[in-house]
Amino acid sequence: MAKKIAIANTKGGIGKTSTAIALTDGLRQKKKKTLLIDADPNSTSSTQVYRAVTDNVATLTDVLYDGLPAQDAIQHLEYGDIIPVDPELTLADTKIAADANRFYHLKDACDALEDMYDYIVIDCPPGNGVILGNVLSYVDEVIIPITCDSFGLQCLDSFKDIMDTYKKRINEKLHICGVLITMYEGRQALTRDLEENTIPEELKYLNTTLFNTRIRRSVRLKESQLFSMPVMEYAKNSTVALDYQAFTEEVIRRCKRK
Ligand SMILES: Nc1ncnc2c1ncn2[C@@H]1O[C@H](COP(=O)(O)OP(=O)(O)O)[C@@H](O)[C@H]1O
Ligand SMILES: [Mg+2]
């Protein structure tokens, strides 16, 4: 049975895509059979890092709009298996009918993946639309990236409400695996109050814990994206690659405990 993990937060620019790519790569390096599903119509994971083809081939759009079995949209690329996305997914909120199946398209299409992979990681779009709904109806675990500043914590309360609704109505196994601080710049006077007071309060409210690893801000990460490589492949001894490696190990431990 595959463990299905969404990297999600309704806020954008918070490290979701960077984390999804690094976690997928970290799991693959640990010899886990891993698939990345790019569910963000911006297609950063698909095109910028995995260099997936998205024109005139099956993508996540065909899976969600036309019921294509997910295995038929997988591309086997240099850095692993991916279901890419194409920009047409921006229309999902209007293209996916508002019927009883609205939030089940992904789940229904992914049956065959259960025995093909150990982990399925999903890079989510920002906002709260039908794509996030399909993801939250399907996955077991959610990892929530945040940044250690007041903007970075902004959407947590509303995201918790969204998660609670899906857990209660659609997917009772939905669980927050943990909250991950990304783009960390060390303990500073400016962020001390957030780290000591605000974040612990939020964690209590979310009923979860912080990953021990904080992902440090590093130019190496941006360079790796510029050169279309996961950061652990581009600069494996950089601080950010070592952080993502330690985070991957934490994720494996947390998933085993459940
Ligand atoms: N650890 C990091 N160090 C430096 N830059 C980072 C780091 N993590 C993310 N970024 C940069 O921050 C921006 C937003 O990250 P991204 O992963 O695309 O967030 P999201 O998917 O939530 O929108 C990108 O330009 C990315 O390169
Ligand atoms: Mg993104």
Model pLDDT, residue 248: 98
Dist. CA 181–CA 91, nearest whole Å: 31
CA of residue 123 to ligand 2 center, whole Å? 7
Q: Both tokens of residue 100?
A: 């009883």
Cα dihedral 32, 16, 251, 248 sign: positive
Instruction: State pTM to two decimals.
Output: 0.97
Nearest CA to ligand 1 atom 3: 217
Mutation choice for ligand 1 from 17, 18, 44, CB with most ligand atoms inside 8 A: 18
Q: Is 217 in the pocket of ligand 1 (CB under 6 A)?
A: yes
Contact at 8 Å (CB) between 48 and 228? yes
State the distance from the centre of ligand 1 to the C-alpha of 205, rounded, in angstroms: 26
Tell me how far apart the 2 most distant CA atoms of the chain are, in Å.
52
pLDDT of residue 189: 83
Checking if the pLDDT of 154 tops 90, the result is no
pLDDT of residue 191: 83
The pair of structure tokens assigned to 41 is 């119509």
* 147 pocket-lining for ligand 1 (C-beta < 6 Å): no
Summarised one tens digit per residue, pLDDT across range 165-209 is 999 999 999 999 999 999 999 888 878 889 999 999 999 999 999
Q: What's the CATH number for 3-252?
A: 3.40.50.300
pLDDT at 258 over 80: no
Task: Please report which helix (H) or strand (E) contains residue 231, including its range.
Answer: helix 231-234
Residue 218 CA to ligand 2 center (angstroms) comes to 17
| Predicted local confidence at residue 245, as pLDDT | 98
Question: Angle at which helices 156-169 and 199-206 pack, to 10 degrees?
Answer: 10
Cβ–ligand 1 contact at 220 (below 6 Å): no
Q: Is 17 in the pocket of ligand 1 (CB under 6 A)?
A: yes
Residue ranges per structural domain of the chain: 3-252
* Confidence grade of residue 147 (pLDDT, cut at 50, 70, 90): very high
% residues pLDDT > 70 (the chain):
100
Alpha helices by DSSP H, listed for 129-182, are 130-136, 156-169
Which pLDDT score, from 0 to 100, does residue 23 have? 98
**Digit-coded pLDDT (tens) for 63-89:** 999 999 999 999 999 999 999 999 999
Which has the higher per-residue pLDDT, 54 or 215?
A: 215
- Out of 83-87, 104-108, 191-195, 246-250, pick the least confident: 191-195
> Across residues 57-62, what is the average pLDDT?
97
**In this predicted structure, what is the pLDDT of residue 201?**
93
Q: Is residue 152 pLDDT above 80, yes or no? A: no
Q: Specify the pLDDT at position 170.
A: 96
* Ligand number nearest to the C-alpha of 9: 1
Q: Which ligand is nearest to the CA of 16?
A: 1
Q: Look over the chain and give the mean of its residue pLDDT values, rounded to a whole number.
A: 95
Q: What pLDDT does 142 receive?
A: 98
Q: Say if ligand 1 is within 6 A of residue 218 CB.
A: yes
* CA separation for the pair 176, 173 (Å, rounded): 10
